[in-house]
Structure 1
Amino acid sequence: MKIISAPDYESMSRKAANLISAQVILYPRSVLGLATGSTPLGIYKQLADWYRKGDLDFSKVHTVNLDEYCGLPAGSEQSYRYYMESNFFHHINIPAENYNLPNGNAEDIEAECIRYDKLISSLGGIDLQLLGIGHTGHIGFNEPDQSFDKTTHRIRLSRRTIEANARFFETPEKVPEYAVTMGIKAIMQAKKLLLAASGAEKAEILYRALFGPVTPELPASILQFHPNVTVVATEDALSVIRRQEPKLL
C-alpha cells in the first residue's frame, strides 16, 4: 500500500488525477472504475481541464461506475448518471456508449445485477478503480454486514449513509433507501485501486479501514488484501494514521 499526503483538497484532487491521467496516457483503452460523491469532484474537474488543454484523450476509454440509486425518476438531478454526465462525461471526449452505470430502475433488479457483472467481465475487468470511503467504511454502497457481498447487488442504505447523502437532496426523507452497487469481487479484481479521502471527519474510519481488523463490518478493510492500492488523502484525513503509524508518513 502506498499513502500519498496532500496539504488540502485541491492538492489531493490534483495528485489523484495525475494517477488517473497516467493510466489513460499509458493505456488509452483503459477501463476506469469511477466513484461519485463530494470527494471525486475536484479529480474530475482536473481531468476535464487537462482534456481541454489537449493533454488527455478519453476517446478509447471505457468506464464503469460503482453504484446508482434505486427508484429515482429518469433524468433526476440526484441520480449518479446525471452527476457523472454533468461533472465529467460531458466535459471530455468519451463516447456515450463507452460509459456505464447500473440501472437502479430496472424492472428486474436481479437480472440487472447479473448484466452489470457480465459487462465488467466482457470489458476485461477494471484497470484502475477510483474509490472514496463512506462514514460507515463503505466502498461503493457496500455497507457494513456480516459477510462481504461479492457481486453486484441491491443494498438497503444505512441510516448514517442516508444522512450523509441528504445534502444532495431537499430533505433526508427524499434520499432513496436502496441502491445497486458493484460488489467487492469486481472491486478487488481491479488491477489498481486508488482511494481518495478528504477531511478530518474521515480520519478515524480511514485509519480503521487501512490498519484495523479486516471485517465485513467495515467493508473498506478488505482493501488491505489488494496488492496494488494507492491512498491519496489530505493531511487532516491522515491525522489518525500519522499519530498511530508515524513511520509511514
Structure 2
Amino acid sequence: MKIIIEENYEKMSRVTANILIGKMHQQKRVNLAITAGSTPVKMYEYLVTDTKNKAYFDNVHYYNFDEIPFKQRRGYGVTMTNLNNLFFKPAEIPESQIHPLDENNYKTQDKRIEQDGGLDLILLGIGSDGHYCGNLPGTTKFEDLTSHVREDATENMKDILLSEVGGDEHERPNFYVTMGPKSVMQAKEIVLFATGKKKAAIIQRAFFGPITNEVPASLLQTHPNLTIVLDQDAASELY
C-alpha cells in the first residue's frame, strides 16, 4: 500500500490524473474503471485537457463499476450520466471505448471484463461509512462478484436511492447494480482518493484497522497494488 499526501484538493486531483495518464501511455489496450461523484470533479477537469483530441489514447477503454437506473427515464443511469457529463462528453471519448454496466448486463460484467483482458486500474472513492462502488455496509460480502442490490438490503437504502436520483420519487428505482468486492480485487491496480476532514476518520479506520465487512473498504488493504491519494485534511488522522 502506497499513500500519497498532497497539500490540497487541487494538487491531489492533479496527482490522481497523472496516475491515470501514466497508465494510458501503453502500446496495448488499457481498461480503466472510473468513479463519479464529487471527489473527482477537479481530476476530470485535468483529465479532459490531457486526453481531448489525443488520438493516441484510442487504446483506452472505460468501464463504470456501479449503476443506479432511473425508474422511468431511458438511457444512462445515475453513474453513467455523471461520468458522461464530467468526462466522456467534454473529452469527446468515442462510444466504442465506453462499456457501460447496467441492470441488463450486470450478470455478464465479470466475464466481459475478463474477456477484455481484465481491468488494468480501478479508480475508487470512499464513503464516510467505508463503502466503495455500491458496496455499502450490509449490502455485499467480500466474496461477491458483480451484484444486484435491492432496496430492502438496508434500512436506509430507499432514502439513499431517492437521494441519488435527486429526490424524485418517480425516478427512484428499487435496486442498483455494482461490482462486488471480489470483482474490484481482481483489478491489477487500485487507486483510491479522498479529500476533506470528513473522510479522515474512515481513511484511518479502513486502512489501519481490522479487515471486516462492516467497513467494506478495509478489504482493499490486502490488494498487492493499492495507491491511496489524499489531501492533508483527509490524511489528518494518520499522523
TM-score normalized with structure 1 length: 0.84
Structure 1 residues 14, 103: CA separation in 2 closer, same or farther (over 3 Å shift)? Answer: same
* SS in structure 1 at match of 2:238: helix
Aligned residues: 234
Structure 2 distance, partners of 1:197, 1:172, is 30
Structure 1 residues 199, 27: CA separation in 2 closer, same or farther (over 3 Å shift)? Answer: farther
Cα shift at 1:177: 4.9
User: Within 5 A, what are the aligned runs for 1:1-249?
Assistant: 1-27=1-27, 29-52=29-52, 57-72=56-71, 73-75=73-75, 79-104=78-103, 106=104, 112-145=105-138, 147-156=141-150, 158=154, 159=156, 162=159, 166=163, 169-170=166-167, 176-242=173-239
Structure 1 residues 113, 40: CA separation in 2 closer, same or farther (over 3 Å shift)? Answer: same
5+ residue gaps, structure 2: none
- Aligned residue for 1:246? none
5+ residue gaps, structure 1: 107-111, 243-249
* SS in structure 2 at match of 1:88: helix
Q: Letter of the aligned partner of 2:114 in structure 1?
A: S
Cα shift at 1:92: 2.5
The farther-off stretch of 37-46 and 207-216 is: 37-46
Cα shift at 1:175: 5.3
Contact in 2 for aligned 1:135/1:161 (Cα 8 Å): no
Identity %: 36
Structure 2 distance, partners of 1:147, 1:18, is 32
* SS in structure 1 at match of 2:32: strand
Structure 1 distance, partners of 2:123, 2:216, is 15
TM-score normalized with structure 2 length: 0.87
The farther-off stretch of 161-170 and 28-37 is: 161-170
Contact in 2 for aligned 1:58/1:93 (Cα 8 Å): no
Structure showing the higher helix proportion among its residues:
1
* SS in structure 2 at match of 1:224: helix
Structure 2 distance, partners of 1:53, 1:94, is 9
Q: Letter of the aligned partner of 2:19 in structure 1?
A: L
Structure 2 distance, partners of 1:160, 1:134, is 15
Q: Give me the CA root mean square deviation.
A: 2.5
Structure 1 residues 164, 93: CA separation in 2 closer, same or farther (over 3 Å shift)? Answer: same
Q: Letter of the aligned partner of 2:120 in structure 1?
A: D
